[in-house]
Structure 1
């Protein structure tokens, strides 16, 4: 499994519309990538370390796919739209990394 991680650096005087990103961009992106998408997590920065310092990223998105080939097959037909929509919610250049997932677990709290 691979993870496509997209990080949006929180730069001073930069713009990031989290509402548009979460309510419009991500649902449309997930729909376009649905043929290969295995999971998604979107997180919005709250604080850095030490606590109370500004977060280093406005948001982080992790998209899971079976393989790089599966990602590219789903992404390529929609690349123009996916990349073109970025300017509607931010003026920062996203940092993108493709990684091999080594550990993937979900836990349910035991009461």
Structure 2
């Protein structure tokens, strides 16, 4: 893979964006929002069913979180920074909320249900990070 094609692949990493982003019903991502990022590290013997993740797990999460969830996106890892290197993450999921309180309201009653579904699509132990959005779209 050439450097040019590697850069193109990196530019195309975001492959799925749910309709919850920038519609009349849901506001766009704005500075100050809280973003929960779920990283699925790549490695030896990892399994990940992207179809199930998109169509079942993330769809269920969006439905259960209701109006507290403002936007949601999924990245599918394609490659690392060096030519022909594997992606450091198989997938990365993003949930956007107005505040930590909104996240807690959304996740509190459903967290156990979502965690119980993880073995249905992966054997990876996800890594979670909370961030405050610093730039708006």
Same fold at TM > 0.5 = yes
Unpaired segments ≥5 residues, structure 2:
1-32
- Cα RMSD over matched residues? 0.8
C-alpha offsets along residues 33-83 of structure 1, whole Å, 9 cap, x if unaligned? 122001111010011111321000010011100011100101011111111
Partner of residue 108, structure 1: none
Deviation for aligned residue 1:19:
1.0
- Corresponding residue for residue 99 of structure 1: 131
Q: In structure 1, the residue corresponding to 2:47 is in which secondary structure?
A: coil
* Structure 1 outlier segments of 4+, above 2 Å: none
Per chain length, whose mean CA-contact separation is higher, i.e. which structure has more relative contact order (CA < 8 Å, sep 6+)?
1
User: Residue in 1 aligned with 2:107?
Assistant: 75
1:95 is displaced (CA, Å) by 0.4
In the TM superposition, what are the counterparts of 1:50-69 in structure 2 within 5 Å? 50-69=82-101
Paired with 2:126 and 2:120, the residues of 1 have a C-alpha distance of 13
Shift of 1:23: 1.2
What's the TM-score once normalised by structure 1's chain length?
0.91
Unpaired stretches in structure 1, ≥5 consecutive residues: 106-111
Q: Secondary structure at the match of 1:12?
A: coil
TM-score after normalising by structure 2: 0.74
- Give 1:1-111 correspondences, 5 Å limit: 1-105=33-137
